[in-house]
Amino acid sequence: MLNRIARPVAALLITCAGVLTAAGPVAAEPNPDVTVIAHRGSSGIAPENTRAAIAAAIKQRADFVEIDVQRSKDGHLVNFHDCTMERTTDVEQRFPGRPSYRVSDFTLAELQQLDAGSWFDESYAGEPIITVADVVSQVRGRTGLLAEISPCEHYDGIPEDLAAELRGTPGYLDEALADGQLGVQSFELDDAQRFHELLPEVPIGLLDAQRPTDAELVALSEWADQVNTESSVTDAALLARVHELGMASNVWTVNEPGRMRQLRDLGVDGIITDFPQSLTQR
């Protein structure tokens, strides 16, 4: 579950060799119950961010489905990763000659005309772009939701819109929080902080492709619940410090089984992967 970890009072002394206390080095405890987070759904076997990928993740018993939150031209929140749609849809064939293929330049009705499945495999032809409301309906009572606020630079107001969407779905917010089945994350510090201001009861994480400094970790610990780093910058010393400061760590995007085992044994709280079945089916 993406729950908060109680923040300790004691501070640590950090050296280049690792994390130290008066008692000596602190090791991250192995975590046999690592949270399994399906990256854009089970995107290794189905087209990312579609109903099919989410359905596969649920069937594979992923603890959470991770999605990407963007906004259509007419104000609907949709589940789509890239800032533009050429890679994973037929947008250029369906709407030739448009000056931009950004998600935000299309209405929801236009977005729902696109084929978001054939690029992956012809068996998924016709898979549509889906709304965040569609995602909530699909996962509700079945698995958790980890929503990433899009880092596409042309947006503003997504934290406000996402908070309103979650609040506006009758009963969902209370249910998901009670079951530990909801979290939000972002690469953008301002967006993460703004969402936290609006819905402080929802666990909030900052995504980071670089190794955070100790000063950054201390500052984050004042309000964030998770520091979600890229797997190559994650090690035992970083995890120990994150945990000592009362935060959790969901590491991304990990697809190699040996690295999954290594990170689990290092003490990560969650693993974000395109292949959740590698962790759940054993």
- Report yes or no: 43 and 50 within 8 Å, Cβ to Cβ: no
Cα–Cα distance, 64 to 134 (Å, whole number) = 16
- Any domain includes 248: yes
- Any domain includes 230: yes
Per-residue pLDDT at 9 = 29
Cα–Cα distance, 91 to 83 (Å, whole number) = 13
Q: Which residues contact 66 (CB under 8 A, 6 or more apart)?
A: 37, 38, 39, 40, 41, 146, 147, 148, 272
- Any domain includes 152: yes
| CA distances from residue 21 to 9, 13, 199, 242, 266 in whole angstroms, order as listed | 13, 6, 34, 14, 19
The pair of structure tokens assigned to 145 is 């939701």
- Any domain includes 184: yes
Per-residue pLDDT at 281 = 86
- Any domain includes 210: yes
Per-residue pLDDT at 24 = 33
Q: What is the CATH number for 149?
A: 3.20.20.190
Closest CA to 142 of 63, 51, 50: 63
**Strand order, beta sheet including 13-15:** 13-15, 18-21, 24-25
Closest CA to 59 of 44, 79, 42: 42
One digit per residue, the tens of pLDDT, for the chain of length 282 reads 775 543 332 332 222 323 322 333 344 566 778 999 999 999 999 999 999 999 999 999 999 999 999 999 999 999 999 999 999 999 999 999 999 999 999 999 999 999 999 999 999 999 999 999 999 999 999 999 999 999 999 999 999 999 999 999 999 999 999 999 999 999 999 999 999 999 999 999 999 999 999 999 999 999 999 999 999 999 999 999 999 999 999 999 999 999 999 999 999 999 999 999 999 986
Counting the structural domains of the chain, the total is 1
Closest CA to 197 of 160, 250, 229, 230: 160
Per-residue pLDDT at 31 = 73
Q: Residue 205's domain spans which residues?
A: 13-82+131-280
Q: 39, 76, 196, 243: which one is catalytic?
A: 39
Q: Which residues contact 1 (CB under 8 A, 6 or more apart)?
A: 35, 63, 144, 179, 180, 181
Per-residue pLDDT at 32 = 73
Per-residue pLDDT at 25 = 33
Q: 76, 81, 196, 243: which one is catalytic?
A: 81
- Any domain includes 264: yes
- Any domain includes 8: no
Q: Which residues contact 118 (CB under 8 A, 6 or more apart)?
A: 90, 124, 125, 126
Q: Confirm whether 81 is a catalytic residue.
A: yes
- Any domain includes 231: yes
Place of tokens 């610990």: 221
